[in-house]
Amino acid sequence: MHDDHRTVEDRLRRVLEERVRPAVHTSALPLTVARWEAPGEPVPAADGISAPYRPAAVGETWGPAWGTTWFRVTGQVPHSWAGRTVEAVLDLGFERDMPGFQCEGLVHRADGEPVKGLHPRNSWVRVAEPAAGGEEVELYIEAASNPILNTPQTPTRQGDVRTADDTPLYRLARMDLAVFEPQVWELALDLEVAGSLMRELPLEDARRWELLRALERALDALDLADVPGSAERARERLAAVLGAPARASAHRISAVGHAHIDSAWLWPLRETVRKVARTSSNMVALMDEHPEFVFAMSQAQQFAWLKEHRPEVYAKVARKVAEGRFVPVGGMWVESDTNMVGGEAMARQLGYGKKFFLEEFGIETKEVWLPDSFGYTAALPQLVKLSGSDWFLTQKISWSSTNPFPHHTFWWEGIDGTRVFTHFPPVDTYNATLSGEELAHAARNFREKGAASRSLVPFGHGDGGGGATREMLGRAARTRDLDGSPRVTVEKPAAFFEKARAEYPDAPVWQGELYLELHRGTYTSQAATKQGNRRAESLLHEAELWAATAAVRTGYVYPYARLEELWKTVLLHQFHDILPGSSIAWVHREARRTYARVAGELTEIVEEAQRALAGRGERGVVFNGSPHTRSGVPAGGARPAAEDSAAHRGGTGGEEAVTVTERGGGGWTLENGLVRVEVDGRGLVVSVYDRRARREAVAPGCPANLLQLHPDLPNHWDAWDVDAFYRHSATDLTHADEVTLSAADGRSATVRARRSFGSSTAVQSVTLRAGSPLLLMEADVDWRESEKLLKAAFPLDVKADRSAAETQFGHVFRPTHTNTTWEAAKFEICAHRWLHVEEPGWGAALVNDSTYGHDVTRDIRADGGQTTTVRLSLLRAPRYPDPETDQGRHRMRYGLAPGATLRDAVREGHWINLPERTVPGDGSPVAPLVVLDGEQGEQIVAETVKLADDGSGDVVVRLYESLGGRARALLTPGFPVTSVTETDLLERPLAEPRAQHTVEEARVRVALRPFQILTLRLGRSGER
């Protein structure tokens, strides 16, 4: 037989697109259209429906960027359509192949009830089934004219309502009543499924030719002049091949309806509220038509938005949740970033998220659902388990640009040794349509073949694209048991995970972080957003600590509701396109304003609580919010401020005063008995001599605190990516406009250097303080560059084969060499408050108050020594999606701690983020609520001290082992304790406590394994 497969396949494509699909709706009649432009921001549905409409017509333009236009469509079903299925086809001017990134609509009835969303692949509304004839049609469409910003990825002013123009973006394409032809719709799916399956099979496979000949017979049976009249006959020609059962070894797919909706990205937060309402309305409507459909939605915040802004939609969702078909997943407040989110915030993401689902629906979510975040912290497995969850799902690792990840189903082991069963869907998308191409790719790509047989596919258009469609369900029904295809079953994620774990209990283990070899620029972009997050996390720590202390000691009213609202605001802004800096200008402008408000409110709480604790008087009381004793002030306690005497100015507690001498050739030498620092005439640090270890920290001939400027134009994804070739060119900013000495009063000395470069300026300060080995630095930068990357370099004279970078509740080690592609790919890494490098006997730490991006490189010098260079990534200037990214003034603080151990790094990292506060009071000390004693007491960090969320008055203390070793300590509460309970992140007793913690003479004995997180609930006498 001659090979004619291309001819048949080309024929199929054309007939399907040009004849069959257009015939799904026939006998179209135009609806009468009217419109009303909502002024400014969106209005409630009742206002939109009752607004004064004016006549409109198909073909009219509408919608300036970020506007809302309400359309009213009216008509009458002809009596001749009686017995037929009638639908309204409402095309707002969609780009069919771009769901989620353009205009969208929500259809309402005249009484305000939402019906369903309108999207490029879902532009119909059922009117009557079957029609009686004569039905009056009156529908209202809230149409959002969101600009298309995802392509091309070029600078645009449309990303902020303040700078967007008012040119209409869309043109009404179709507003019709039409007869829905079910047999044509079924035929379209038959042809599509058979055709897509055929194209994925090898040309040598007999099944491919069987499908080809059946498709040819179906096309022969189809009358192109009467598709509805011949559709059933054509379908009969395909029945046998579509009824052939799957092979016994066929891959098994659990298909889960899904609509990944970014809580902000190329649209502002307020638009996400509407995207969620539109998609949820769609999914509820689809469930009404398809009882087999199961839809999973993550992010408690999005459910909360529905409840607040669209309670009528939320009520429908809640009913479907009760039926077990609308399935909350994820257990997180939002699908957050996990690289930069602080430890306590990561715990609250899971705690608040799971608690919402429990309180609203009585559902204990068991999976952490995080498909689209830019890498996953090695601390997460323990947090997943402590939240009461069992499984983890991700997808984004498939985007790694260097090394393919070796597993799809595996046990993920965190820094403490906790393992969580994890799945990484081989379909390589979280917006699947269940096409033949996707299903075949999932089966071929699955790396566990021979040991396991099943994977999960999230299907549905995301980001406001409307979620799953009836066409996707039609594909699922046809591939449930079909020869040549994986077996597809629509079911809940929990059903998949239970089966997958039972089938593959001895899955391989991946230890450590899931590093995404892409999007490394997200550690740096939008510095103000990142600084706002870090400051908010620190203030939340202080607010809870001091409010709890004041509540226990003085009867201060603990602000439960206020703190929860502030926490949830911060958690929202940790979403994986806000904190990483990859959203439009509007999002980050609002984020900066929100962080300022949050900081102000939290500062009020801190100050109120501290005033209650300090008492009345004018003597200064110093509060230490750090979990480590500082300058004689205990962790979480307060002491009277030292008198401002001449002796004190020369150093405290026997500390040597800071002395300053001029250097030959320019600059100054600063000394305090612990370190000697030389700053040259250019304002660069050329020596940091550790007098305790009698060795130099700075590599010979290499200045430290050196600002370096790189070109920064990645190949793709401007705000997201930093590509390795940026290192090929660098400008060292060594010239200084002015170098001055200030604040040389014995307590501290500061050298400042002002530099100009490009269109920008930077004022760098270097400060040495009495009694501290930390060399504290500040960069005050007025940043006006474009497509540049600014780093601060510290070339250290230390042979370090690895670096230690703080992550949530511990740290991760990463090699400094590039022996393999896995190490080479980590050319930009994330660290929280500190990064540490060492050789046996000596190390150094770089600490910071708001920077996350770092890189660590190693070089061998001519003298045989090794230079390990640690650099902080301070600022970027990508132009997409926000053309003004990072423009303006920034103040960043960081410090070099020579001779630092890991313990020192942990302590100094907390100190730079939690500065002392001095308030007037009666001068009485404030004892901490809890004290950790013993040789290993400082190794265990009290990350959080707060009152229990349930209002019982119990004190909750969250501890973690910080150095990666075992530790024991005695925890001494500063109040009467009636019980000690180990809890999960929701403050519930653990079903199987990992250790027995007993009260012994008013103290609690604790023992922690490496990096273990321990949450203790301390019952208080008379508080229940």
Look at residue 350 and tell me whether its pLDDT is greater than 50.
yes
Any residues with CB less than 8 A from the CB of 33 and at least 6 apart, and which? 55, 56, 57, 58, 71, 72, 73, 172, 175
Task: Give Cα separations from 279 to 175, 357, 529, 556, 953 (angstroms).
Answer: 21, 19, 29, 45, 41
537 and 573 in contact (C-beta within 8 Å)? no
Burial of 610 (0-12, 13-18, 19+ CB in 10 A): buried
Per-residue pLDDT at 936: 79
Task: Give Cα separations from 293 to 38, 87, 535, 787 (angstroms).
Answer: 35, 21, 44, 47
Give tens-digit pLDDT for 564-592. 999 999 999 999 999 999 999 999 999 99
- Distance, in Å, from the CA atom of 977 to the CA atom of 1018, rounded to the nearest integer, reads 6
b/e per residue, 874-900, with b = 16+ CB within 10 A?
bbbbbbbbbbbbbbeebebbbbbbbbb
For 143-147, 422-426, 742-746, which range has the lowest pLDDT when averaged over its residues? 742-746
* Residue 303, H or E segment: helix 300-309
R_g (Cα) of the chain, nearest Å: 32
Q: How many Cβ atoms sit within 10 Å of the Cβ of residue 662?
A: 10
Give which of 20, 110, 794, 81 is closest to 471, Cα–Cα.
20
Return the SS3 of 276: helix
Q: Map 442-502 to HEC letters.
A: HHHHCCCECCECEEEEEECECCCCCECCHHHHHHHHHCCCCCCCCEEEECCHHHHHHHHHH
Give tens-digit pLDDT for 532-575. 999 999 999 999 999 999 999 999 999 999 999 999 999 999 99
Q: What is the mean pLDDT of residues 324-350?
A: 97
Look at residue 1023 and tell me whether its pLDDT is greater than 70.
no
Give tens-digit pLDDT for 441-484. 999 999 999 999 999 999 999 999 999 999 999 999 999 999 99
- Distance, in Å, from the CA atom of 418 to the CA atom of 633, rounded to the nearest integer, reads 35
- Distance, in Å, from the CA atom of 999 to the CA atom of 941, rounded to the nearest integer, reads 20
Return the SS3 of 1023: coil
Q: What is the mean pLDDT of residues 132-140?
A: 98
Q: What is the mean pLDDT of residues 810-821?
A: 98
Give tens-digit pLDDT for 8-49. 999 999 999 999 999 999 999 999 999 999 999 999 999 999
pTM (two decimals): 0.97
Give tens-digit pLDDT for 712-729. 999 999 999 999 999 999
Quick one: what percent of the chain has pLDDT higher than 90?
96
To 10 degrees, the CA torsion angle through 1016, 907, 620, 652?
Answer: 140
- Distance, in Å, from the CA atom of 912 to the CA atom of 882, rounded to the nearest integer, reads 30
Look at residue 648 and tell me whether its pLDDT is greater than 50.
no
Per-residue pLDDT at 649: 35
747 and 651 in contact (C-beta within 8 Å)? yes
Give tens-digit pLDDT for 843-859. 999 999 999 999 999 99
Q: What is the mean pLDDT of residues 734-749?
A: 95
Per-residue pLDDT at 645: 38
Which residue has better confidence, 885 or 996? Answer: 885
Look at residue 650 and tell me whether its pLDDT is greater than 50.
no
Quick one: what percent of the chain has pLDDT higher than 70?
98
- Distance, in Å, from the CA atom of 994 to the CA atom of 991, rounded to the nearest integer, reads 9
Give tens-digit pLDDT for 412-428. 999 999 999 999 999 99
828 and 523 in contact (C-beta within 8 Å)? yes
Per-residue pLDDT at 997: 64
Give tens-digit pLDDT for 232-263. 999 999 999 999 999 999 999 999 999 999 99
Q: What is the mean pLDDT of residues 975-990?
A: 95
Look at residue 647 and tell me whether its pLDDT is greater than 50.
no
Residue 995 pLDDT level (bands cut at 50, 70, 90) = low
854: tokens are: 């770092």
**Residue among 190, 262, 372, 984 flagged as catalytic:** 372
Look at residue 197 and tell me whether its pLDDT is greater than 60.
yes
475: tokens are: 């594909």
Look at residue 116 and tell me whether its pLDDT is greater than 50.
yes
Q: What integer best gives the mean pLDDT of the chain?
A: 96
Any residues with CB less than 8 A from the CB of 561 and at least 6 apart, and which? none
Phi then psi dihedrals of residue 91, to 5 deg = -105, 110
- 10 among known catalytic residues: no
Residue 1001 pLDDT level (bands cut at 50, 70, 90) = low
